Amino acid sequence: MFLHYLFDSGGTFFQHKTIRRLKKKYRRYMDYKQFNTEDFIADERFVNWVIEPDEINEAFWNNWLAGNPEKKASVEEAKAFILSMNHKVVHPSLEAKSRILDKIHEGIAPKEHRLSKSSSLPFATLAKVAAIVLVVLGAYWYVNLSPDKTYQTAYGDLEQIVLPDGSKVVLNANSRMKYTDNWKSDAKREVWLKGEAYFDVAKSKDGVKNAFVVHTPDVDINVLGTAFNVNARTANVDVVLEEGLVEIAINNEVDTKTNATHQLIPGYKASYDASAKSYSVEEVETNVYTAWKEGKLVFNNTSLEELKSLIEQTHGIKVKIANKDLKNKRLDGTIDNTDLDTVLSALEAIFNLKIYKKSNEITILK
């Protein structure tokens, strides 16, 4: 085997130190196959992926999960626990960060944080892994001293957030948003979004027109006071405007002199496909795209294929449509979206479908 040759041949291509480092990295990768939920929670690399995902750790863990699908349940349970801890931790001031650093040096988690008793893990284990999670979070805060606040939702969860200027945000499931906490009355108000969120933006005070900007990986949305929905889960970014006015700036626009920004008016949806670098606008029924924040799903000639993607993105479960002709089946109506079982029961009853749920997969039949 090639790796065995590198590790044991004694060849001249690698120094011994490099070989030892490769051995350690390879063993660590293999060790994850033996991990259970508690092990994942206690692993610093895993925790960093959950609370601060980037291209490198996303690629690593997605690739690892693809090769180890039997570990998905343990990974999801560990992610849910870490995210719940991250929600319970109050983002500290600089003074608090200094105190956390002292705790890190002592190897002790701050006493003011308490564990939820709702977890299925044993309490002794909870105490141990929570301390590790908090130390990792503390280290992250200390390294990143900027006063950013980050919110991340788990699959199936929504979160309501009030920003420093009074703007209201509903963060959809499996989404992440952050913003700086030092907003001034005459400064630009900025948030960064990965996933989906609904924004009800407060108007600028005292006549000062300080812009509100939502940054996504491919598109920036500039606002002066409005209500709109942004879905930036994939390379396709959708912006649906309910009221007001927004200006959309495409980050990688080839021609920066002309047509670099696009205005959107109420009742329309703007879509940008980053892979094709195409931009389009269409008139829509806005409640189809915003009803999720009220715990509803609204279908207006919605294909079952579109619904499949929606369920996978918001509930974290694979959906299989068994019959090809079903993919283009169109749905109209409104159902409750309080939890996955409610959604599936409603789909079966209203649209005359047969749905089977097994482990982490859903199959839809005629």
Residue 216: which residues within 8 A CB-CB, separation 6 or more?
A: 192, 193, 194, 230, 232, 237
* Predicted pLDDT at 338: 80
Output the pLDDT for position 77. Answer: 86
- Angle in degrees, CA 319, 175, 341, rounded to 5: 40
Third-level CATH fold of 295-365: Phage tail protein beta-alpha-beta fold (3.55.50)
At 210 the three-state DSSP class reads coil
pLDDT of residue 175: 92
Strand partners, 76: none
Q: Enter the tokens of residue 134.
A: 């908090």
Packed helices 55-67 and 72-88: angle between N→C axes, nearest 10 degrees: 150
Task: Write the CB contacts of 315 (distance below 8 Å, at least 6 apart in sequence).
Answer: 155, 156, 173, 340, 343
- Whole-Å CA distances, 159 to 21, 190, 239, 295, 319: 42, 19, 19, 12, 25
Phi and psi torsions of 206, nearest 5°: 55, 30
- Among residues of the chain, what percentage have pLDDT more than 90? 25
Give the alpha-carbon dihedral of 341, 345, 348, 354, to 10 degrees.
50
Give me the pLDDT at residue 258, please: 38
- Cβ atoms within 10 A of the Cβ of 213, count? 15
Which amino acid makes up residue 352? N
CA separation for the pair 127, 65 (Å, rounded): 27
pLDDT at site 200: 94
Q: Which two tokens stand for residue 248?
A: 């959309």
CB atoms within 10 A of CB 174: 20
**Which pLDDT score is estimated for 143?**
41
Q: Is 232 helix (H, G, I), strand (E, B) or coil?
A: strand
- Tokens linked to 333: 């109506």
295-365 matches 150-286 in CATH topology: no
Q: What is the pLDDT of residues 68-78, one digit of tens each?
A: 889 888 898 88
From the options 2.40.10.120, 2.60.120.1440, 3.30.310.80, 2.60.15.10, give the CATH code of 150-286.
2.60.120.1440
User: What per-residue confidence (pLDDT) applies to 281?
Assistant: 94
pLDDT given at position 145: 41
Residue 315 pLDDT: 87
User: To which residue do tokens 């960093």 refer?
Assistant: 48
- Report yes or no on whether pTM surpasses 0.85: no
Q: Half-sphere exposure of 179 toward its Cβ, with a 13 Å CA cutoff?
A: 18
Who contacts 144 (Cβ-Cβ below 8 Å, separation ≥6)? Answer: none
CA distance 316 to 79: 12
User: What is the Rg, in whole angstroms, of the alpha carbon atoms belonging to the chain?
Assistant: 23
What letters, b where the CB count within 10 A reaches 16 and e where it falls short, cover 309-345?
A: ebbebbbbbebebeeeebeebebeeebebeebeebbe
Closest CA to 306 of 323, 319, 316, 322: 319
Helices (H) and strands (E) in the chain, counts: 11, 18
pLDDT, tens only, 308-317: 998 988 888 8
Give strand pairing partners of 151: 177
**What one-character-per-residue DSSP string does 265-306 give?**
-TTEEEEEETTTTEEEEEE--THHHHGGGGTEEEEEEEEHHH
Torsion-angle region of residue 261: left (phi > 0), alpha (psi -120 to 50) or beta? beta
Q: Of all helices (H) and strands (E), which one includes residue 308?
A: helix 304-315
Residue 183's pLDDT is what? 77
Q: Comparing C-alpha atoms, which of 189, 284, 207 is closest to residue 239?
A: 284
The predicted structure's pLDDT at residue 147: 56
* Cα(302)–Cα(327) distance, integer angstroms: 10
In this predicted structure, what is the pLDDT of residue 289? 94
Per-residue pLDDT of the chain (366 residues; tens, 9 = 90+): 333 333 333 444 334 444 444 344 444 555 788 888 888 887 878 887 887 777 777 878 888 888 888 988 889 888 888 777 654 444 444 444 444 445 444 544 444 443 444 445 555 555 555 565 555 555 454 444 445 788 999 888 899 999 988 899 999 999 999 998 777 766 788 999 999 999 999 887 655 567 889 999 889 999 866 899 999 988 889 999 999 989 998 876 544 443 468 889 999 999 999 888 889 999 999 999 999 999 999 998 988 999 999 898 888 889 999 888 888 889 898 998 888 898 899 888 888 889 998 878 999 987
Domain boundary assignment for the chain: 35-143, 150-286, 295-365
